[in-house]
Structure 1
Amino acid sequence: MFKNYLKTAWRSLTKSAIFSFINVFGLTIGFTSFLLIALYVFDEFTFDAFHKNTNNIYRVVADETTPEGKETKSAGAGYQISQKAVADLPEIKDAARFITFGRLNVSNAENTNVFYEDFTVANPGFLTVFDFKLLQGDRHTALTQPHAVIVTEETAQKLFNTTDVVGKVVKIDRDSLPYKITGVLKNFPANSHIAFNLLFSESSIDGESFKNFINSDWTSGEFSTYLLLSDKADAKKVAAKINALVSANANAESSDKSSYILQPLKAVHFYSNDIEGSANKGNITYMYVFSVIALFILLIACINYMNLTTAGFAKRAKEIAVRKVAGASKQMLVKQFLTEAFLLTAIALVLALLLVEILLPFFNTFTEKQLTLGFHTDYRIWLGIVAAVVVVALLSGSYPALFQARLKPLQLLKSKINIGKGNLSLRKSLVVFQFALSIIMIIATTIVYLQIQYVNTKDMGFNKEQLLVVDINSGKVRNKAATIKNEFSKLAQVKEVTVSSRVPGEWKVIPKIKVKNEKIQSVEGEDMYFLGVDDQFLKTYQISLAKGRNFLRGSIADSSTVIINETAAKELGITEPKEQLIEMPGDEPFTARVIGIVKDFNFQSLREPLAPMILGYQNNPVQAIDYFTARVNTKDVSKTLAAMNDMLHTVDQNHLFEYHFLDKQWDLFYREDHIRETIFMIVSMLTILIACLGLFGLTTYEAAQRIKEIGIRKVLGASVSSIVILLSKSFLKLVGIAAILAFPIAWLAMHKWLQEFAYRIHVQWWVFVLAGLTAAAIAFVTIGLQAVKAAMANPVKSLRSE
């Protein structure tokens, strides 16, 4: 019987080739969109979930509150917390601890492959707490011995052109002794918030100063720390015991109230936006939005199937009537029509899987993921696909099947079929839903685009164009910075050159210091960002000096002076830079004279409000210079880069030339927004496309139902345009209702999204009008094509059967 159903279904689909093609096309697009978004969302929701003990691993997070009530959280802890907690608290089975000391020059023994990498050291617990796959080596001993290092397979290939490297040595420029490779790790998954290329054993740091530091370090916050708890351990109770341990052993020198909390490993990706030092921060709201969008696209494809199948009832009415007269039961007809739905859904799924296979490489490049769909894909994804196919087939096929099966033969033979009456019928309600979603997506895409354009063109208080930033990666280059800067400035394509400790748009951490006005009593002072700069910084970055003076070239006296921005001046109560003294308490207390006030400039993402900034002269006790920045003519930039590289090598032959253009670095702040903008744009286009297919189906059905009415109107003298308007106006009303429903939803959603930015556009009324008119125009074209065809048909053909 099933074989017969299948043959009949195939014959029916091929007989109505146009409708079948539209149905398959709509479902294929729906499945493809659903699969791609589902893979992306699944990857996000399984961040860090591949470890065997994921549910028992917690990150130690420091929570500090200043006397003024300001709360800050940071992803770091003191050395002794992980060291003593494991020994003293039975609930803690193991601890992973690592710290990065900066970057260093790495090479193989022959110096044939040289590059820069972070110098990250970890304790042996790193490999026993986490389950990162070790391709070679023993995870229990790989990080125990001094001068041991483990590398990823990518780094092994980079150094030795092979992954069989255990026992080989790596040289670094901060140590005269080579490091022996004791393990090779599989490249880190893209959905891991922890990633590195080399990991050195903690026991390699054997200097007395480091030993003295860690022996009493309870509160530094320098070590990323993860604890593996026993199955029955209560994380909150363990955190309370850790806080008690710290209180009993740490020296309470700061007036800040501090405590430690344990953050579940699974929560790190989505719930770390307020935690400093966190990488790969995700946004769970967008995952819910994308999930809903994926389901909606699939639902719209199902709605189209219903509408198009309904539109084809008139053509199949007599076939169904004959089947009923011949003795076909209601159950048999339902099975037949559901078989057609399953067959069509299966065809669409196969085509969608092929499309996903083709599109995945581009999608991965675009989203910076490593998504795959194959035999090794997580079984939960395949279960989801099977469930989606069953649901889609039942959802799209059940309504037409049940309706057609219950119709009486007489109705079918006379082709008198009424499906819902009035403008609020099920079919028309579904069209309203389709276009409401389409309009929401158009509005979202437009507002995201306008906001990205705004942040790209906003005056940030400095000019980021044509700024070439060159890293300083060695002491030799740093000591000869003045000479190199002078040589850079002699290049024809270089306009200005400056040195600084950090740069606006910095991807590294810009340090914060406590600052207070001597004349205003404050216990701790205000947190302010700090940059060490030279006398050319303001000129090179084109930052305006509002009051006072700039640093003087070569001035020893200016080593104890600072320039502050307007926000810092306001917080410190300074209106004029009259050599006023400010204090910077800390490990190295520093008193400085304020000699100038610069106009505020953005040095962080425009999601962040303007913050107070202190500019210290390059010879300051806070932070050494780390970058050259040159304003260059980009006409012949390759020649300029080659000349700069040669100049650096005259000072340090082992120095690797690293550079980037600052405007490109700033673009990275909004990388996720660009991805969302593109996703919204593509989804809105697909949503409109599929919605138009549904509208086409309704128009076809409407024309079929009113074919005799149209014939009579034409015989009585009705024009083509009047018939087109007659068939179009009811559907355009549906688009209008969809717009009324979509506008408030879109406004609320986009208003909430814009709140993420300290600097943002105001949502304009014309965006909503544009979205509504766009949807209406597309709908009118879709309806018009079918309406014109119906209006131009020969009325004799439609009337002669009566």
Structure 2
Amino acid sequence: MFINYFKTAVRNLWKHKTFSFINIIGLTIGLTSFLLIALFVFDEHTFDRFHKNSDSIYRVVESKTSAEGKTTKRSGTGFQVSARATADMPEIKDVARISVYGRTNVASAENKENVFYEDFTAGSNGFMSVFSFPLLYGDRNKALTEPNSVIITEESAKKYFGTSNAVGKVLLFWDNVPYKVTAVLKDFPPNSSISINVLVSEASLQTNDEARKFLETDWSSGAFATFFQLKDKTDITALNNKLDNLITANHKADAGTKSHVELQALKDIHFYSGDIEGDSGKKGNLSYIYVFLVVACFIIFIACINYMNLSTARFTNRGKEIAIRKVSGASRVELLKHFLAEALLVTILSVVLSLVLVNALLPAFNSFTEKELSISANTDYRIWTGIFLVTAIVTFLAGLYPALFQSGLNPLSLLKGKIQVGRGNISLRRSLVVFQFMISIVLIAATIIIYEQMRYVNNKDMGFDKDKLVVIDINSGDVRLGAETIKNEFAKLAQVRSVAVTSRVPGEWKTIPSVKVNNNNSNPNEGKDMYFFGVDEQFLSTYNIRLLNGRNFHASGNADSAAVLINESAARELGITEALGQAITIPSVRFGGDNRSMLDKPFTATVAGIVKDFNFQSLHEPLAPMVLGFRKNPVHVIDYFTVKLAGGDIEATIKKMDEILHSVDQRHLFEYHFLDKQWDLLYREDKIRQIIFLVVALLAIFIAALGLLGLTIYAAEQRVKEIGVRKVLGASVTGIVVMLSKDFLKLVLVAAVIAIPLAWFFMHKWLEDFAYRVDIKWWVFVLSALAAVFIAMSTICLQVVKAAIANPVKSLRTE
């Protein structure tokens, strides 16, 4: 019986090729879009869940509320918090600690010229037991137990040693300090919040007497990312309180501040860490994940609507077939099965085609989203289960209503050709067309607004000039000591306009240090939170930043070591209107989540000048107060050269700069970035969303247009005699075109009326993520509606005109 259903379904699809093509293409595009987005969403939702004990792993997050009521969170805590908690609290089964100590040059002992720069990251022995990162070589239980041991990834092993099995080989850190490779891990998966190239044993830190003394008393540094593996049925709230009490009993908080510890589930880190300092892992946005998933479902729904519309509209062509089946004894259930078999066949064909398309598109999609998605026999069973469920859902969604509608028709009326279509059926079909174009108009408006915001971001006056700026990393002590010589040699190059040395740059990709600034001497440990750059006298001219008040730094060396410049925002916070002679004190400096002050004693400086505000972070962030210290300051050493180029042969100029650096340090690895490209990376996620919305909008419009085309073809076929009669009675081609078009045009206009407020609401919410944003203009919605009208009219125009100019005599003879 089922084979007979499918045979009949194949014959029917082949007989009506145009409508079959429209249905299959529409569903294929809808399913392809859905599968790509579903793979992306699945990957996001499975972040960090590949660990064997992922449900029982929690990260310690400390929050601190200042006397002014400002709360900051950090992903690190002091060493003793985990050391004592593990010993005193039976709920904690194991602990893993990770701490980062800046970048260092790393080379293999076999080839000291093969130098790379890596973050010097230390991990406790629990790292290998708490987490389940796949181990390729070595002993998981002993890999991080001994001092001067290191574990590396497979990619790093090949990079340093040319082979993946590097156990027993030696890496040199800090030029000549040897570390023995004790294990090689499989490369960290893209959906991991933790990603490390080289990880030295925490035991290595304790070989240093000064470091050991620090660890023995460290309750508040924030330098250690701490992960607890808890026993089953642990009361998280109670354990939070225990940790709070432990810290309170052993560490006195700063006056006026309140501290609190809470455990964050490993599975929540990816989506719920946006407000946590010191978290350098990949951060997701749950809101956008839901938006993409809903949009993907809408795309499939639009394709299903096409099937429903065309199937119910074409029922008169199949009237006699349905009637004969009923007269021959076919029950309604059997007819339902028959029509659902047709829908299933269309869906299966579409799924197969979409799987082929997905595999063809995945390489480009992975490159675009920076993921490693795949769909094959080895793909997670949940993906394949989802595909089978989607196939079933689409079959019932697309086929059930037409099947119920057609199987319920009266056979006698069908044979007589006297079929009256209820108003409900036509209303439903019109409602579905309205829904299709409503979604299309919302997506068009969203795409335009995102484009306008991105154009605003790219063209906004940032308060400095980022064009033709090359930023070169300072990666060694020799280069740092020879910075003045290198700077002078750079300046001699024909294509170089100016050169500056700085500790950080606008659009910084590393951590920008924050400082406390005090200018009233009321309490040297309190002050306003501000950011800090160390710069030289060429910084303002190289970046084209305006000096509003006071003076720039002097070119001579030590004269300005205790001088600073501040921006307008800092001047307002400190109540400074005239720069010269104003003294400020910087009692502490922090880097990200590390709460240790890097200052031996408070830094007292004199404000030499006030500069115009400039954006040094993305436009998602409000403009913040900034202190610019002279390059020879105790807060932060210089870390970059910034070279302003005049143009010309940029590649040749960069090569010459590389040669100058290597003349000072033979082993220096030349790293450089074009600053405008780095700024583009700050908005990469926004631009990905822009492209996704654009592609999805185009697909939604295309599928909706396909459905409208099918309905237009069918409407023209059903009204062929009416058109013939009207033409014989003198109706013009224009009049007939208007008659056939106006019903569809009304539906698109109704869709626009519904879509406009929806689009405004959603895009207003999206723009709230930007501190600097465009206003939503009325013309965006008008343009979106007109675009939908134009697409609809373009789609139906050819068929409508073809019907209008047909020979009326031939139309009237047709039976």
- The bucket for the TM-score relative to the shorter chain is over 0.9
Shift of 1:590: 1.0
Identify the range of structure 1 (700-709 vs 591-600) with the bigger mean alpha-carbon deviation: 700-709
Q: Counterpart of 1:394 in structure 2: which amino acid?
A: F
Q: Take 2:475 and 2:417, find their aligned partners in 1: how far apart are those partners? A: 82
Partner of 1:63: 63
Q: Counterpart of 1:191 in structure 2: which amino acid?
A: N
SS state of the match for residue 50, structure 1? coil
* Structure 2 contact 307–398 (Cα < 8 Å) conserved: yes
Q: Decide which of 694, 703, 723 is 1:710's aligned counterpart.
A: 723
**2:778 pairs with 1:778:** no
Shift of 1:286: 0.4
* Structure 1 contact 532–620 (Cα < 8 Å) conserved: yes
SS state of the match for residue 113, structure 1? strand
* Structure 1 contact 310–701 (Cα < 8 Å) conserved: no
Partner of 1:309: 311
Deviation per CA, 1:195-229, whole angstroms, max 9, x where unpaired?
A: 01111111112211211111100001011111111
* Structure 2 contact 524–587 (Cα < 8 Å) conserved: no
Structure 1, gaps ≥5 residues long:
none
**2:621 pairs with 1:596:** no
Partner of 2:372: 370
Deviation per CA, 1:547-578, whole angstroms, max 9, x where unpaired?
A: 00000012423111110000000000001112
Q: Take 1:47 and 1:420, find their aligned partners in 2: how far apart are those partners? A: 51
Q: Take 2:257 and 2:639, find their aligned partners in 1: how far apart are those partners? A: 31
Deviation per CA, 1:554-609, whole angstroms, max 9, x where unpaired?
A: 24231111100000000000011121111111343011111100000000000111
Residues paired across the two proteins, number: 801
SS state of the match for residue 505, structure 2? coil
Q: Take 1:752 and 1:717, find their aligned partners in 2: how far apart are those partners? A: 55
Q: Take 1:452 and 1:119, find their aligned partners in 2: how far apart are those partners? A: 36
Shift of 1:733: 0.8
Partner of 1:427: 429
Shift of 1:238: 1.0
* Structure 1 contact 48–54 (Cα < 8 Å) conserved: yes
Q: Decide which of 286, 309, 315 is 1:284's aligned counterpart.
A: 286
Judged with a 3 Å threshold, the aligned counterparts in structure 2 of structure 1 residues 407 and 253 are, in CA distance, closer, same or farther, namely: closer
Partner of 1:687: 700
* Structure 2 contact 524–585 (Cα < 8 Å) conserved: no
Q: Counterpart of 1:136 in structure 2: which amino acid?
A: Y
Q: Take 1:759 and 1:356, find their aligned partners in 2: how far apart are those partners? A: 37
Shift of 1:519: 6.8
Shift of 1:456: 0.7
Shift of 1:698: 2.2
Q: Counterpart of 1:46 in structure 2: which amino acid?
A: T
**2:236 pairs with 1:231:** no
Shift of 1:523: 6.5
Judged with a 3 Å threshold, the aligned counterparts in structure 2 of structure 1 residues 641 and 196 are, in CA distance, closer, same or farther, namely: same
SS state of the match for residue 652, structure 2? helix
Structure 2, gaps ≥5 residues long:
589-598
Q: Take 1:57 and 1:322, find their aligned partners in 2: how far apart are those partners? A: 65
Partner of 2:155: 154
Q: Counterpart of 2:636 in structure 1: which amino acid?
A: Q
Deviation per CA, 1:729-781, whole angstroms, max 9, x where unpaired?
A: 11111111111111111101000110111100000000000000000110111
Shift of 1:490: 0.6
Q: Take 1:498 and 1:225, find their aligned partners in 2: how far apart are those partners? A: 39
Q: Counterpart of 1:107 in structure 2: which amino acid?
A: A
Q: Counterpart of 1:178 in structure 2: which amino acid?
A: P
* Structure 2 contact 445–784 (Cα < 8 Å) conserved: yes
Partner of 2:133: 132
* Structure 1 contact 314–704 (Cα < 8 Å) conserved: no
* Structure 1 contact 311–697 (Cα < 8 Å) conserved: no
- Compute the RMSD of aligned alpha carbons: 1.5
Judged with a 3 Å threshold, the aligned counterparts in structure 2 of structure 1 residues 333 and 118 are, in CA distance, closer, same or farther, namely: same
SS state of the match for residue 114, structure 1? strand
* Structure 1 contact 311–700 (Cα < 8 Å) conserved: no
Shift of 1:246: 0.9
Shift of 1:307: 1.4
Deviation per CA, 1:528-551, whole angstroms, max 9, x where unpaired?
A: 001111111101110000000000
Deviation per CA, 1:1-46, whole angstroms, max 9, x where unpaired?
A: 1111111111111111111111110010011001000000111111
Partner of 2:217: 216
Q: Decide which of 526, 529, 532 is 1:530's aligned counterpart.
A: 532
Judged with a 3 Å threshold, the aligned counterparts in structure 2 of structure 1 residues 422 and 383 are, in CA distance, closer, same or farther, namely: closer
* Structure 2 contact 253–259 (Cα < 8 Å) conserved: no
Q: Decide which of 619, 633, 653 is 2:646's aligned counterpart.
A: 633
* Structure 1 contact 443–746 (Cα < 8 Å) conserved: yes
Q: Take 1:49 and 1:197, find their aligned partners in 2: how far apart are those partners? A: 20
Q: Take 1:359 and 1:402, find their aligned partners in 2: how far apart are those partners? A: 37
Partner of 2:326: 324
After superposition, where does 1:740-759 map in structure 2 within 5 Å? 740-759=753-772
**2:586 pairs with 1:584:** yes
SS state of the match for residue 178, structure 1? strand
* Structure 2 contact 312–405 (Cα < 8 Å) conserved: no
Judged with a 3 Å threshold, the aligned counterparts in structure 2 of structure 1 residues 219 and 38 are, in CA distance, closer, same or farther, namely: same
Q: Decide which of 638, 643, 655 is 1:642's aligned counterpart.
A: 655
Partner of 2:122: 121
Partner of 1:111: 112
SS state of the match for residue 616, structure 2? coil
Judged with a 3 Å threshold, the aligned counterparts in structure 2 of structure 1 residues 416 and 706 are, in CA distance, closer, same or farther, namely: farther
Deviation per CA, 1:313-367, whole angstroms, max 9, x where unpaired?
A: 2332232233333333322222111111111110110000000000000000000
Q: Counterpart of 1:362 in structure 2: which amino acid?
A: A
* Structure 1 contact 462–543 (Cα < 8 Å) conserved: yes
Shift of 1:254: 5.1
Q: Take 1:98 and 1:313, find their aligned partners in 2: how far apart are those partners? A: 67
Shift of 1:516: 1.3
Deviation per CA, 1:270-308, whole angstroms, max 9, x where unpaired?
A: 111111122211110001101101111111111101112
* Structure 1 contact 695–783 (Cα < 8 Å) conserved: yes
Shift of 1:422: 7.7
SS state of the match for residue 621, structure 1? coil
Shift of 1:634: 3.6
Q: Counterpart of 2:55 in structure 1: which amino acid?
A: N
Q: Counterpart of 1:65 in structure 2: which amino acid?
A: T
Judged with a 3 Å threshold, the aligned counterparts in structure 2 of structure 1 residues 522 and 167 are, in CA distance, closer, same or farther, namely: closer
After superposition, where does 1:447-486 map in structure 2 within 5 Å? 447-486=449-488
Q: Take 1:690 and 1:550, find their aligned partners in 2: how far apart are those partners? A: 61
Judged with a 3 Å threshold, the aligned counterparts in structure 2 of structure 1 residues 275 and 45 are, in CA distance, closer, same or farther, namely: same
Q: Take 2:298 and 2:413, find their aligned partners in 1: how far apart are those partners? A: 35
SS state of the match for residue 623, structure 2? coil
* Structure 2 contact 468–674 (Cα < 8 Å) conserved: yes
**2:250 pairs with 1:249:** yes
Shift of 1:395: 1.3
Q: Take 1:626 and 1:496, find their aligned partners in 2: how far apart are those partners? A: 17
Name the TM-score, length of structure 2 as normaliser.
0.96
Name the TM-score, length of structure 1 as normaliser.
0.98
Judged with a 3 Å threshold, the aligned counterparts in structure 2 of structure 1 residues 421 and 223 are, in CA distance, closer, same or farther, namely: same
**2:383 pairs with 1:381:** yes
Partner of 2:200: 200
Q: Take 2:418 and 2:369, find their aligned partners in 1: how far apart are those partners? A: 52
Q: Take 1:647 and 1:555, find their aligned partners in 2: how far apart are those partners? A: 22
Identify the range of structure 1 (500-509 vs 327-336) with the bigger mean alpha-carbon deviation: 327-336
Q: Take 2:88 and 2:606, find their aligned partners in 1: how far apart are those partners? A: 49
